[in-house]
Amino acid sequence: MITRIREVRRARRMTLQDVADRCDPPTTPQTIGRLETGTRTVSVGWLNRIARALGVEAGDLVQLPDRADVPIAATLDHDGAHAPRRTGVVVPPQTAPGLVAVTVGSGVGDYRSGDEIWLNRLAPEQFAGALNRDILVPRPAGRFLFGRLIGREEPVPGQPGGKLHILPLGAGGRQTVVTDPPWAAVAVKLIRSL
């Protein structure tokens, strides 16, 4: 079996140590390196462990004859486009439990018409991890609020929830305070067609 572990790891910008630490149970970077180079046989169990550590599907780590890879042709930075230092491929976006999406009907803030924003649902105790990021919050009557989480007030002891301070996208928006939302979703991926 020909694997793409190294290509996917590099596309995720992770070191051998990063992958080894994220494996469950953790392993050594040397073991990951041997699995990448083929000096150690990759079992289905190892393939699943490494896929979870990289945040991809196990099938993304196997080279299949009927699947076309998307090679990295160039790297773009402040000096312009350059040939990549080493060959690599990009990993297509994967769905995961807890993801929701927002489709953009007309441009607002940094988002353009036609964009898809993928968000990861958070429980109230996880809201602090979304500070200074774009979030979606449910409102009564099937409405939602989408904007930048700029502040969070802890709940009063003995009372549920807390308060989220959200700044709407675009110029001139006023801060909105949402009390005791049952969940929120933080933006994690932008899918944009050009």
pLDDT digits (tens, 9 = 90+) for 83-129: 888 777 776 677 778 889 999 988 888 899 999 999 999 988 888 88
Averaged over 76-86, what is the pLDDT?
85
Task: Tell which CATH classification among 1.10.260.40, 3.30.565.10, 3.40.50.10860, 3.20.20.70 matches the domain 5-90.
Answer: 1.10.260.40
Q: Percent of the chain at pLDDT above 90?
A: 43
Summary mean pLDDT of the chain: 87
Topology adopted by domain 99-191:
SH3 type barrels. (2.30.30)
Cβ neighbours of residue 162 closer than 8 Å, sequence gap 6 or more? 124, 127, 152, 153, 154, 155, 179, 180
pLDDT at residue number 95:
73
Q: Where are the domains of the chain?
A: 5-90, 99-191
Reduced to 3 states (helix: H, G, I; strand: E, B; else coil), residue 38 is: coil
Residues 20-56 pLDDT 10s: 999 999 999 999 999 998 888 889 999 999 999 998 8
Residue that has been written with the tokens 């992958």 in this structure: 19
